[in-house]
Amino acid sequence: MQRSKSMADALDLSCFVRRSADGAASMDFALEGVDCAACIDDIEGGLKPEPGVVSARLNVASRRLSVAWRPEVTGAEKIAARLAALGYRAHPFDLHRLEAEDVAQTKWLIRCLAVASFSMMNVMLLSVSVWSGAVTDIMPETRDFFHWLSALLVMPAAAYAGQPFFRSALAGLRARKLNMDVPISLGVCLAIGMSLYETLHSAEHAYFDSAIMLLVFLLLGRTLDQMMRVKMRAAAANIAALKGDFANRVEANGDVRIVPVAALACGDTVLVRPGDRVPADAEIVAGASDVDESVITGETLRRPAAQGDRVWAGSLNGAGALTLRVTAAGAATLIDEVKRLVEQASEAKSRYRRLADRAAAIYSPMVHLAALLTIAGWLLVGASVHFALITAISVLIITCPCALALAVPAVQIVATGSLFRSGVYLNASDAIERIAEINHVVFDKTGTLTLPQPQVANLGEVDADLRAIAGRLALSSRHPLAATLACALGAQHPMDDAREIAGAGVEATVDGQTARLGAASFCGVADARESAADVSLIFMRVGARTATFEVRQALREDARAVVDALRARGVTVSILSGDRPEAVAPVALALGVADWRGGVKPDEKIAAIAALAAAGRKTLMIGDGLNDAPALAGAHASMSPIDAVDIARAKADALFLGERLQPVLIAFDVSRKARALMRQNLWLAVVYNAFAVPLAVAGYVTPLIAAAAMSGSSILVTLNALRARAPSPVAAPDDGESLVLRAAVRPVPGAAS
């Protein structure tokens, strides 16, 4: 580890500096020691006085600091030195290095937690023996022996397991600031030191168990937070992989050459074979196929694509070969634009500071001031140094931020478990607090208000014998629409002699007659609806008999009930969709939502959410597609279905499971209740200190009573947190209402999300 740091220090940072057209310089730094939203003010505020610095923006989730400066005034080395003075080691941002550091950090925290837990379990066994013996007939020699065993177990364990807090506290002190880890470290070290002193003097009480137990609780929260960050960052990093690594470029002489995707330029011609991903944003110059854009839009229905149509990098080609002319490559593709929007939105969102962070900013200085004044006061009145120190330590123990540290996490644990049982999985440690604050909900349409998988809407209109043949034909095809039809019909056995014609359909011989399933022209069916965009049609012919299957997106069963329930709670609702306005209108009408827009691009979704924020609205964005990811990252809070695309799941604060929207309402109700309990717990910690600290300062509280009072406050906070459970679920619509809702959205197309 030390070797890598020295190598980083020896790097020439000038080779990582970017130059803009106006002459300004900029660079992305990766910072060590960033662990909470409070670091934003320390770092960005600490860089502002630096001459020449134009801007500094920190993304806490990725520990990425983007700094712009005037090169004639300052440089990257001076900025790195300033960051070191603030207590943060900086090196050039490297995603691979950051991922490796994250893995190492997670393993280290888990080892610290394991060591602390092992020590705590054994020390608690010894402590129970001492406590029970104190009221019976334990011999002083036996008690001292148990205290020495506790010391041997706790001291090396605390020295190792407490490093995450000790290092952070030392870095804060070097930067002349007090963070939450300073009183924690002082409390642990002084409790162990005092316990060792008392053990040396054969005192009745020692407090090794309190010190190691505090470390276990705090390490558990820090480890879970670190694992959550790693998971989110790993999923978000996969977005670039959607374009693939290589492309088939058509050279001027007609030869096809395999080249890296990064080597493509605007105007290049590429060949995309069936089943390949589109390597760059492009226009089709030859060929026809159906394109799966689910990673871009969240839409599960494939879109027909022919000469002159635009396709996007990351889309999956269907059955036909396509020749494309590249219109945007490298970092200029839609995927990369979405990635930039996501990063910008994430940086803005990371400025949210949790309740515990805000409380810690006030609490930490007060704790140290109280202890110092206690020592000074007792020395001034003539007390002994030993008595003054013991009294100050009692103050530190009784004010040790156990209750404050548990005030928010305890509620989060209970609320998170309750949400998990209700089908809601949290992605962010502060999701509950932000969801509780929302007063406006923005829904995407396809895959969010509607089910992600299309449904066959008119099965009852087709004769049973034709349905049976259609199911077996559909099962013989690899087309996604055929798979939907086969599933809806419950087909079990494909046709033995079925033949699939790429881009047309599948045919077989049934009782001496030719049976076909696929496009209208392939089946010889004349149907005016074939060109309609509000439904995907599958045609069928068996001899002279024909049938048509309508594949549509179906509205989620309880969508109207949930929207009405949100409005009843004072939350306004709107719809922002990338689908055509004429496709969004029926859904908005069925749900009674007057504020809706269709044809909205990713940057327009962010602008709309920013406008809502400027108007004082705290927005919950709910979406599932790649085009929703920037809005999910930029909204005050966000949720996605569990089957959303990877980047949407990564940027959402919470995921919900199932085909109903009820978990969204449950998340809102539980979060509001949990936020109220968090505030109650913080006030309980404040009230506890208001009564306990004066008694400790006055010398009426012994260290044992202080430890008991500290534990009592933690127990009280934990018991209050147990009230954070999910309320009764919203009533689901009956079958009649559900049918009405489905009928109301029959014209909904399966187009872009």
Structure tokens at 516: 């076909």
Instruction: Work out the average pLDDT over 448-457.
Output: 79
Q: How far is CA 304 from the centre of its chain?
A: 34
Sign of the Cα torsion 226, 232, 233, 238 reads positive
What confidence tier does 38 reach under pLDDT thresholds 50, 70, 90? low
String of b and e for 681-690 (b: at least 16 CB within 10 Å)? bbebbeebbe
For residue range 254-303, what is the model confidence (pLDDT) as tens digits?
888 888 776 788 888 999 888 788 888 888 988 888 787 765 655 556 67
Which of 274-283, 506-515, 534-543 holds the top average pLDDT? 506-515
Rounded to whole angstroms, how far apart are CA atoms 204 and 212? 19
Q: What is the pLDDT of residue 295?
A: 59
Which of 74-83, 676-685, 699-708 holds the top average pLDDT? 74-83
| 3-state secondary structure labels for all residues of 285-316 | EECCEEEECHHHHCCCCCEEECCCCEECCCCE
Structure tokens at 359: 């409380």
pLDDT of residue 568 exceeding 70, the answer is yes
pLDDT of residue 488 exceeding 60, the answer is yes
Short-list 295, 366, 305, CA closest to 333: 295
Q: What is the pLDDT of residue 115?
A: 94
Confirm if 58 and 65 have CB atoms less than 8 A apart: yes
Rounded to whole angstroms, how far apart are CA atoms 586 and 222? 47
Q: What stretch of H or E contains 542?
A: strand 536-542
DSSP annotation of 433 reads H
Residues 6+ apart with CB under 8 A from 358: none
The more confident residue out of 492 and 439 is: 439
Rounded to whole angstroms, how far apart are CA atoms 414 and 718? 9
Alpha carbon separation from 465 to 391, 447, 462, 471, 528 (Å, rounded)? 89, 32, 9, 10, 25
pLDDT of residue 331 exceeding 60, the answer is no
Rounded to whole angstroms, how far apart are CA atoms 609 and 604? 9
Q: Sheet with 310-311: list strands edge to edge.
A: 256-260, 246-250, 269-272, 322-328, 281-286, 310-311
Max CA distance (Å), the chain: 112
* Entry field: residues in the chain: 753
Question: Residue holding tokens 């880890």?
Answer: 181
Rounded to whole angstroms, how far apart are CA atoms 334 and 626? 10
The more confident residue out of 181 and 122 is: 122
Q: What is the pLDDT of residue 9?
A: 46
Return the SS3 of 57: strand
Sign of the Cα torsion 478, 480, 485, 488 reads positive
Report residue 267: phi and psi, to 5°.
Answer: 95, -15
Active site residue 444: yes
Structure tokens at 306: 């022919």
Q: What is the pLDDT of residue 443?
A: 93
Q: What is the pLDDT of residue 727?
A: 54
Report residue 156: phi and psi, to 5°.
Answer: -70, -35
Structure tokens at 93: 């941002």
The residues with which 247 forms a beta bridge, in sequence order, are: 259
Rounded to whole angstroms, how far apart are CA atoms 154 and 176? 30
Residues 6+ apart with CB under 8 A from 623: 298, 443, 444, 447, 448, 629, 631, 632, 638, 640, 644, 648, 753
Instruction: Work out the average pLDDT over 471-489.
Output: 83
Short-list 310, 374, 314, 357, CA closest to 339: 314
Structure tokens at 737: 């209402």
Short-list 291, 282, 279, CA closest to 328: 282
Sign of the Cα torsion 597, 598, 603, 605 reads positive
Rounded to whole angstroms, how far apart are CA atoms 727 and 667? 10
Letter for the amino acid at 522? Answer: F
pLDDT of residue 658 exceeding 50, the answer is yes
pLDDT of residue 94 exceeding 70, the answer is no
The residues with which 281 forms a beta bridge, in sequence order, are: 328
Sign of the Cα torsion 285, 279, 750, 300 reads positive
Confirm if 672 and 439 have CB atoms less than 8 A apart: no
pTM of the model: 0.58
Rounded to whole angstroms, how far apart are CA atoms 393 and 348? 41
What confidence tier does 714 reach under pLDDT thresholds 50, 70, 90? low
Instruction: Give the percent of the chain with pLDDT over 70.
Output: 73
Instruction: Work out the average pLDDT over 727-732.
Output: 46
Report residue 644: phi and psi, to 5°.
Answer: -70, 170
The DSSP result for 103-128, as a single string, is HHHHHHHHHHHHHHHHHHHHHHHHHH
Rounded to whole angstroms, how far apart are CA atoms 411 and 722? 7
For residue range 175-187, what is the model confidence (pLDDT) as tens digits?
676 666 777 787 7
pLDDT of residue 742 exceeding 70, the answer is no
Instruction: Work out the average pLDDT over 695-699.
Output: 80
Q: What is the pLDDT of residue 335?
A: 57
Sign of the Cα torsion 160, 162, 168, 173 reads negative
Q: Sheet with 316-317: list strands edge to edge.
A: 303-305, 289-292, 316-317
Residues 6+ apart with CB under 8 A from 522: 501, 504, 505, 516, 539
pLDDT of residue 737 exceeding 50, the answer is no
Instruction: Work out the average pLDDT over 599-616.
Output: 86
Confirm if 581 and 599 have CB atoms less than 8 A apart: yes
CA-based radius of gyration for the chain = 32
Return the SS3 of 614: helix
Q: What pairing do the DSSP bridges indicate for beta strands 572-576 and 596-597?
A: parallel
The residues with which 269 forms a beta bridge, in sequence order, are: 250, 325
Q: What is the pLDDT of residue 158?
A: 92
Question: Residue holding tokens 């407090």?
Answer: 207
Report residue 258: phi and psi, to 5°.
Answer: -85, 125
Of the listed 336, 444, 558, 579, which one is catalytic? Answer: 444
Question: Residue holding tokens 């593709």?
Answer: 333
Rounded to whole angstroms, how far apart are CA atoms 263 and 276? 18
Question: Residue holding tokens 């009649």?
Answer: 736
**Helices marked H in 381-479:** 385-398, 402-421, 431-436, 464-475
Structural domains of the chain, with CATH:
2-93 (3.30.70.100), 100-237 (1.20.120), 244-332 (2.70.150.10), 428-452+556-668+733-744 (3.40.50.1000), 455-552 (3.40.1110.10)
Sign of the Cα torsion 670, 672, 675, 680 reads negative
Rounded to whole angstroms, how far apart are CA atoms 202 and 152? 16
Question: Residue holding tokens 């046709």?
Answer: 495
Q: Torsion angle, CA of 504/510/513/514, rounded to 10 degrees?
A: 10
Mean pLDDT taken over the chain: 76
Strands (DSSP E) contained in 557-662 are: 572-576, 596-597, 619-622, 637-641, 654-656
